[in-house]
């Protein structure tokens, strides 16, 4: 008998390294297959509204989950699975410092060291929205116009920030901690009080298959939560 098709998990880009590890753990334990699709939470939300065949949605911003629930597209209103953090990522050799208070970024805008700076597109990517809020808090948003390089999602923004396309950027801590990124960059955590919290919520879509339901449950196990914490996520208290 043919194996059932894999359950499809639509996950925010900040989850790439963490969810790949948790999914491998789940597949090894259960033998059930998963298909992982990564993108900005806003774009994935739009695809679900348009009928994309996703079974589990892991958003970086719980508001997108609530919108799907209000539209009657989900099994319920989901569950918080993590709280994310942002910070400034600076590649090796950059003239910028990875200063979480963004004082060096402000100085670089004044003295001409900064040419390009990467963030995720704040129109649909939660990590881009929070980056904009942090830059507004620091009073740097107006001065950065014309120097911003916008990633389609936070993973692409991290690529821009480390590839030479920009002198640095504001990205997810979970991506900055990945060995492939950490080996060639430095990172400074931005204070949580500078932006709205990244309350990350997941939800099963209607008629999700058994494998998706099982993985949804697995994500709340101690083993999965330990992986998430190692990748820089805080566990929700509620």
Q: How many domains does the chain have?
A: 2
Round to whole Å and give the CA distance between 204 and 9: 9
In a domain, 235, yes or no: no
> By residue range, what is the domain housing residue 178?
84-194
Q: What percent of the chain has pLDDT over 70?
A: 98
Assigned domain for 165 exists? yes
Q: Is position 153 within any domain?
A: yes
Report the mean per-residue pLDDT for the chain.
96
**Shared domain check, 144 and 59:** no
Q: Provide φ and ψ at 131, rounded to 5°.
A: -60, -45
| 98 lies in the same domain as 135 | yes
Residues 30 and 71 occupy one common structural domain? yes
Position 2 confidence tier, pLDDT thresholds 50, 70, 90: low
In a domain, 2, yes or no: no
pLDDT value at residue 237: 78
> What is the per-residue pLDDT for 5?
83
Interatomic CA distance for residues 52 and 20, integer angstroms:
21
Verify that 141 and 163 share a domain, yes or no: yes
pTM: 0.95
Q: Is residue 221 part of a domain?
A: yes
Question: Is 27 among the domain residues?
Answer: yes
Residues 69 and 162 both lie in one domain? no
- Split at pLDDT 50, 70, 90, the class of 153 is very high
Burial class (CB in 10 A: 0-12, 13-18, 19+), 78: buried
Phi-psi region of 22 (alpha: psi -120 to 50; beta: other; left: phi over 0): alpha
Q: Mean pLDDT throughout 73-83?
A: 98
Residues 213 and 146 in one domain: no
92, 184: one domain: yes
Does residue 237 belong to any structural domain of this protein?
no
Whether the per-residue pLDDT at 41 is higher than 80: the answer is yes
Q: 123 falls in which pLDDT band (50, 70, 90)?
A: very high
Q: In this structure, is residue 203 part of a structural domain?
A: yes
| Residue 75 shares a structural domain with residue 11 | yes
Q: Taking residues 13-40, what's their average pLDDT?
A: 97
Going by pLDDT thresholds of 50, 70 and 90, the confidence category of residue 4 is confident
| Res 1 pLDDT > 80 | no
Give residue-wise pLDDT tens across range 48-58.
Answer: 999 999 999 99
Question: The domain that contains 108 carries what CATH number?
Answer: 3.40.190.10
Q: Are residues 124 and 70 in the same domain?
A: no
Q: Are residues 90 and 189 in the same domain?
A: yes
What is the rounded CA–CA span in Å between residue 173 and residue 89? 9
Residues 134 and 97 in one domain: yes
Question: 154 and 131 share a domain?
Answer: yes
Mean pLDDT to the nearest integer, 107-111: 97
């Amino acid at each position: 008998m043919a194996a059932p098709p894999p359950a499809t998990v639509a996950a925010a880009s900040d989850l790439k390294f963490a969810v790949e590890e948790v999914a491998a753990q789940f597949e090894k334990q259960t033998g059930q297959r998963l298909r992982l699709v990564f993108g900005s939470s806003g774009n994935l939300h739009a695809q679900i509204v348009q009928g994309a065949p996703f079974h589990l949605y892991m958003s970086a911003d719980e508001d997108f989950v609530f919108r799907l629930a209000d539209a009657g597209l989900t099994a319920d209103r989901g569950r918080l699975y993590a709280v994310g953090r942002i910070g400034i990522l600076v590649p090796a050799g950059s003239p910028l410092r990875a200063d979480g208070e963004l004082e060096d970024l402000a100085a670089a805008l004044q003295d001409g060291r900064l040419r390009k700076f990467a963030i995720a597109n704040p129109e649909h990517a939660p990590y881009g929205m929070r980056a904009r809020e942090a830059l507004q808090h620091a009073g740097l948003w107006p001065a950065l116009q014309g120097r911003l390089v916008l990633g389609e999602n936070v993973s692409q923004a991290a690529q821009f920030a480390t590839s030479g396309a920009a002198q640095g950027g504001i990205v997810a801590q979970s991506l900055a901690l990945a060995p492939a990124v950490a080996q060639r960059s430095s990172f400074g955590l931005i204070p949580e009080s500078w932006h709205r919290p990244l309350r990350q919520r997941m939800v099963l879509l209607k008629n999700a298959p058994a494998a998706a339901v099982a993985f949804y449950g697995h994500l709340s196990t101690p083993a999965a939560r330990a992986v998430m914490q190692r990748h820089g996520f805080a566990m929700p208290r509620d």
